[in-house]
Structure 1
């Protein structure tokens, strides 16, 4: 009984299960969803990979997996980064510029200094110490006028020899005085210059001219020097005083030993630069002080350009001056008579065409570029002019001391050094030509003087500098002003 029950029970079990799975309406039952096993995942992943080779996968790939795949692909190929430096730049606007005619001055003449009525020792010093044999155009016209004792308004290009144009007649006049000059007499001549660097240049020139006449003592006053040592020099006596306007006004107000009882010469060099730097009030204070001590003197005003400010300064400082303008005379010679008639008949409201003269070897460049291209444009220009061409000196002006320091550090590391010099085939002379120097108002005066002299004496170099007023009330000079 028990044995028979067993087989029937076992045999009846499939039927019972079948009946349970059937629905009461006779429809086939839904298949039960099984839980996928680990092997199923592996199999599915393998099939998905196979399908992925031909068709894109249906399910999105996780972000982490995409990142890993991207990193692996970047490691397998070289790194290439496309810069947007030269893309999406704004259009360069058109700048309205005045009609300017550039005039080339004939700097040198065939006349020698021996043709002038000068002291023989002075002529010998010019020929041997300064190594100059012939006069420039501005010297040829200015020296005879100043030797006559006349006031003069001299307009000539920068670098044409204006320092000697007034320095030679000044020394000739002082050494020939009936009563020999004493150091304790104080200043017989006052020379105003806009910047410290030009003050040093003028002082050096005057020292060379005065070598045969040791009893005439030159001196310089400028910002950056110790006032105590300058006061000591003033107490001992300075006969030719070269100074920047700001420092001289400072001594006029605070130094008791300074006086102008014997001052017979007032020379204002680079008058346009003095006014551009905002020294007009200081010059007015100096003129009032000189007039209070001595009204009669010989006045000379020198400038590269003739602006309204220079004309106004000439009106208050010069007495019946002789006007000397080399550029205007050359333009009159070159301009035909018919053109003069047309200009004379033109209406008064028309803007007069300006003209200017620059040294023949001085090249000036002007390029309008977007802000983000300034650095790469400047670097390419420096390389093109100084590294691949020999004997080039370049001056680059910036608007602030911080910009000078930034570009100096960057250009020294990128252009003046780097791994390219260590590679074979790169010679050192090409790197030596790329010497960078900096000059601005935040530097100590001793360092400024050293940099300035180094740039003057070198045949190659790039000077990064500012051309605005510094904290002491004097400007940082363009080194080509001499």
Structure 2
């Protein structure tokens, strides 16, 4: 008897449901075994994937119909054939060479990243004449009439011998006792520009300054990190002059210890506006009768953050208690608010502007009105060695594109230090957890001995101690990624930062300048990358009006770095194929695998899903907060919420962004009756259908308010009619 043949004594059994399903199963097995020898390698198709899949479905359907017809014509043959093939499924794991690796990975449960995206437009950067500012001059500090110990400190502790352009212009003006408004590019040495003349004047006071004299100089800065950084600079400058005591006041510190320091005495007081106002109102030991200097560093940011009332309180307290003083305002940008502040607090100030189209220096003494001419306020000086780039990325691909860029710089290149600016605190928290888990969690075969990428976070909702720890850790590290809000955009000097990534576009050109100013400081090289969606590309024209020019970087070039990481290998085998289409298909597969890893993590627990929804909500809130002058670019109507959800690792479009907020409020009140209701479990077919819908859905509620109102009214009417019938 032939091997593998099973003989059955069956004579036309009556058709039953069980027998039919058995025949269909055997028929499908026979079809699989007949089809298997030809499926050694699958052909890659690079045309429209939707058309190809439609053709494939049509072919499969016709094959099934043909097999079913043959099966009904002869009933006994299939039984014998099925018995032959019944022994073969044991050998079915020996698939084609291209398929055997595919089953190492879980089935990709994500909808296509590369379908239904808006077209990426051709970006043409307008030609601009960029403002140039010569950072260093050939003049040394020894040319100034400074104390020899101060010059030695600059040489030894700060490792500087020659002045920057802004220092050359500013120091002589301030040493002459005049008020000044200083405007210069970020990273040009503005802190030393006012710090050196301040220390020089205080060390020359006779009799010597005593700690008990109280504040002689007050320095106001917008953020805690900048306050701490300025305090450390003054500590170094005052090394030779130990009788002058610096001190810092800022939110997050204990008021009791700050009051104790104020009672002992602080001569140079560095503070954030809010905390200083708090002490003016509540601390009796603070006195401004001896104040000789008032410095407002990053003054425009101080006004932007809403500290205008606090500044008024501080100025009134100084004017009421102290004699005439010297005032200094410093910023990389000059605004109308600064002009008002200068006119209120200063007398005949010198306006120092060290950048021009031809790079020449200039300092003048104009009135505030002539100082704010359009050519000065509208154009910003960018460091010469800063390379500025932009990339246009559809919303669905933002997350994988960011991850690919981080891998390219921090894993496959050496000594790269990145700062990523995000629009909200919740988004920072979520992205740090997501990126560190997915990018560092899986073992890599390509770089076993390479340490994992270090991810840090910095935002306003963190405790002060933690903020300072992160600031110090990132300052001292050689590599790493810092995700932060605009709390780190002003004045902070973080050494060796090579890339500034603006994941969410800034709300103004001035904010753009301050963000990219964290790199390419004091003549060093640096790079900037701005993420834009296809609907936001006109933002380039807005920046061009301020003499800022960006070079386009292609999204596919960034995603192609995933080919270097074997953790994100797709199902297909593309190594042997070198055509452009094959390369692109491999990149797409790897991007989809990476997106799947993100989505698997997010949907792995209810907590991570909730964190993703909160981050998405905060992103949408920030998107609605762009100023009216930019609403034609950043409008909520242009935002596809279903695609935006993808960039937070959510598989489906949210049902309504207000729902999560409402649920959280109900939980707090203890009225969350509907919150505990278990979610309906979807079948595989329903889930695929919902995935396809999420490609097109904007995430907004399907029914309008008027329609819901009509439904409610109709239901109420039916209820009242029912009651009337019951009463009758």
Q: TM-score range with shorter-chain normalisation? A: 0.7 to 0.9
Q: Of 143, 147, 167, which aligns to 1:139?
A: 167
Give the one of 180, 204, 207 matched to 1:179: 207
Distance between the aligned counterparts of 2:27 and 2:233, measured in 1? 89
Structure 1 position 426 matched with structure 2 position 437: no
Quote the residue 2:253 is aligned against.
Answer: 225
Aligned position for 1:443: 462
Once the 2 structures are TM-superposed, how far is the Cα of residue 164 of structure 1 from its aligned partner? 0.5
Q: Could you tell me whether the CA contact under 8 Å between 1:100 and 1:354 is conserved in 2?
A: no
TM-score for the superposition, normalised by structure 2:
0.52
After TM superposition, give the deviation of residue 359 of structure 1 in Å: 3.1
Please show how residues 322-361 of structure 1 align to structure 2 within 5 Å: 322-328=350-356, 330-331=358-359, 354-361=378-385
Secondary structure of the structure 2 residue equivalent to 1:359? coil
- Equivalents in 2 of 1:91, 1:286: separation in Å? 53
Written as runs of structure 1 = structure 2, the 5 A alignment for 1:269-308 is 269-308=297-336
SS at match of 1:355: coil
Q: 1:122 to 1:352 in 2, by over 3 A?
A: closer
Match of 1:256 in 2: 284
Cα distance change, pair 397–322 in 1 and its aligned pair in 2 (3 A):
same
Aligned to 1:39: 11
Cα deviation code 1:165-191 (max 9, x no counterpart): 000000000010122111111100000
Instruction: Check conservation: 1:408, 1:436, Cα contact below 8 A.
Output: yes
Distance 1:363 1:288 in 2: 44
C-alpha deviations, 1:160-215, integer Å up to 9, x for none? 10010000000000010122111111100000001111111100000000011111
Q: What is the distance in 1 between the residues matched to 2:417 and 2:185?
A: 19
* Equivalent pairs, count: 414
- Asked if 2 retains the 8 angstrom alpha-carbon contact of 1:99 and 1:353, the reply is no
Aligned-partner Cα distance in 2 for 1:405–1:275? 27
> 1:92-111 maps to which residues of 2 (within 5 A)?
101-111=129-139
- Residues in 2 aligned to 1:99 and 1:353: alpha-carbon distance in whole angstroms: 19
Q: Distance in 2 between matches of 1:227 and 1:145?
A: 37
Distance in 2 (CA, whole Å) between partners of 1:308 and 1:72 is 79
- Mapping 1:320-469, distance limit 5 Å: 320-328=348-356, 330-331=358-359, 354-420=378-444, 423=445, 425-426=446-447, 428-429=449-450, 431=451, 434-467=453-486
Change (3 A) 1:318 1:196: same
The CA deviation at 1:455 is 1.3
Cα distance in 2 for partners of 1:72, 1:318 equals: 89
Q: What displacement does 1:333 show?
A: 7.8
Q: Deviations over 1:441-463 (max 9, x none)?
A: 22221121111112122222211
Quote the RMSD (CA, aligned, Å): 3.7
Q: CA deviation at 1:267?
A: 0.3
- On the 8 A contact 1:440/1:466 being kept in 2, the answer is yes
CA distance in 1 between partners of 2:71 and 2:284 (Å): 90
CA contact (8 A) 1:195 1:476 kept: no
Between the aligned partners of 1:246 and 1:436, the Cα distance in structure 2 is 30
Could you report, residue by residue, the CA deviation over 1:301-334 in whole angstroms, capped at 9, with x for unpaired residues?
0000111122222221221111111113745689
CA distance 1:394–1:359, change in 2 (3 Å): farther
Q: Quick one: distance in 2 between partners of 1:275 and 1:290?
A: 19
**Equivalent residue, structure 2, for 1:67:** none
CA contact (8 A) 1:277 1:475 kept: no
d(CA) in 1 for partners of 2:266, 2:273: 17
Name the counterpart of 1:57. 68
Confirm or deny that 1:267 pairs with 2:304. Answer: no
- Cα pair 2:354 2:360 within 8 Å, conserved: no
- Shift of residue 92, structure 1, vs aligned partner: 5.2
Q: Whole-Å Cα distance in 1 between the matches of residues 71 and 309 of structure 2?
A: 78
Higher RCO, 1 vs 2 (CA within 8 Å, ≥6 residues apart): 1
- 1:244 aligned onto 2:253: no
Instruction: Report the Cα offset of residue 83 of structure 1.
Output: 4.1
- TM-score (normalised: structure 1): 0.76
What does 1:136-175 align with in structure 2 at a 5 Å threshold? 136-175=164-203
CA distance in 2, matches of 1:129, 1:477: 19
Query: Offset at 1:58?
Result: 5.0
Larger Rg: 1
When residues 100 and 227 of structure 1 are mapped into structure 2, their CA distance, relative to the original with a 3 A threshold, is farther
Q: Give the match for residue 341 of structure 1.
A: none
Shift of 1:390: 2.4
